[in-house]
């Protein structure tokens, strides 16, 4: 049985819009919400040296976003990034798994490809292993 992650519908629109703005490279950001339900996506800058193949959010930007979450009574729930349109799947890459520092976070991977069967996938990544979660979309 898959563990479930709940998210508001509008968040998926935000992720897709962000991923499609530059579909040939990876985009990234942070997901926040309340009571375990993701309610908002906060786009971040991808500062990876090679943003075509990787993503990295500057620690400074994470700290800044955390401050905003505190003010708005939101909890940090996850991290999202896209796999560009030239990549086949939105499965965590070995690098995604190696660099998943926030073991409590849920990692969403988005594909900007039109008509993708799974435009969004969510994973829990711990101890070098990724486990897919079931996404429940709330209104
Ligand atoms: Zn990735």
1: confidence class by pLDDT, cuts 50, 70, 90: low
- Give the DSSP H or E segment for 22: none
pLDDT tens digits, residue range 42-59?
999 999 999 999 999 999
Tell me the pLDDT tens digit for each residue of 81-102: 999 988 777 899 999 999 898 8
Q: How many CB atoms lie within 10 A of CB 2?
A: 10
**pLDDT of 103:** 79
Q: Report in angstroms the alpha-carbon separations of 54 from 28, 66, 80.
A: 10, 23, 12
Name residues with Cβ closer than 5 Å to ligand 1, which is an ion: 93, 96
- How much is the pLDDT for 85? 82
**pLDDT digit string, tens, across residues 2-43:** 799 999 999 999 999 999 999 999 999 999 999 999 999 999
Centroid of ligand 1 to alpha carbon of 82 (angstroms): 7
Q: Which residues of 19-47 are buried (b: 16+ CB within 10 A; e: fewer)?
A: bbeeeebbbbbbbbbeeeebbbbbbbebe
SS3 13: helix
Average pLDDT for residues 121-139, to the nearest whole number?
Answer: 95
Torsion of CA 120, 6, 108, 58, to 10 degrees: 140
Q: 106 pLDDT band (50/70/90 cuts)? A: very high
Q: What is the C-alpha to C-alpha distance for residues 6 and 37, in angstroms, rounded to an integer?
A: 5
Q: What is the whole-number distance in angstroms between the Cα of residue 96 and the centre of ligand 1?
A: 5
Within 10 angstroms of residue 114's Cβ, the number of other Cβ atoms is 10
Distance between Cα 38 and ligand 1 center (Å): 20
């Amino acid at each position: 049985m898959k563990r479930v992650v709940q998210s508001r519908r509008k968040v998926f629109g935000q992720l897709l819009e962000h991923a499609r703005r530059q579909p040939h490279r990876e985009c990234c950001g942070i997901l926040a919400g309340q009571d375990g339900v993701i309610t908002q996506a906060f786009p971040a800058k991808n500062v990876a040296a090679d943003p075509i193949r990787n993503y990295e959010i500057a620690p400074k930007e994470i700290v800044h976003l955390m401050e905003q979450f505190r003010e708005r009574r939101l909890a940090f729930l996850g991290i999202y990034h896209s796999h560009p349109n030239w990549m086949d799947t939105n499965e965590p890459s070995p690098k995604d798994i190696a660099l998943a520092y926030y073991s409590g976070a849920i990692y969403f991977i988005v594909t900007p490809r039109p008509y993708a069967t799974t435009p969004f996938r969510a994973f829990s990544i711990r101890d070098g292993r990724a486990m897919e979660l079931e996404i429940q979309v709330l209104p």
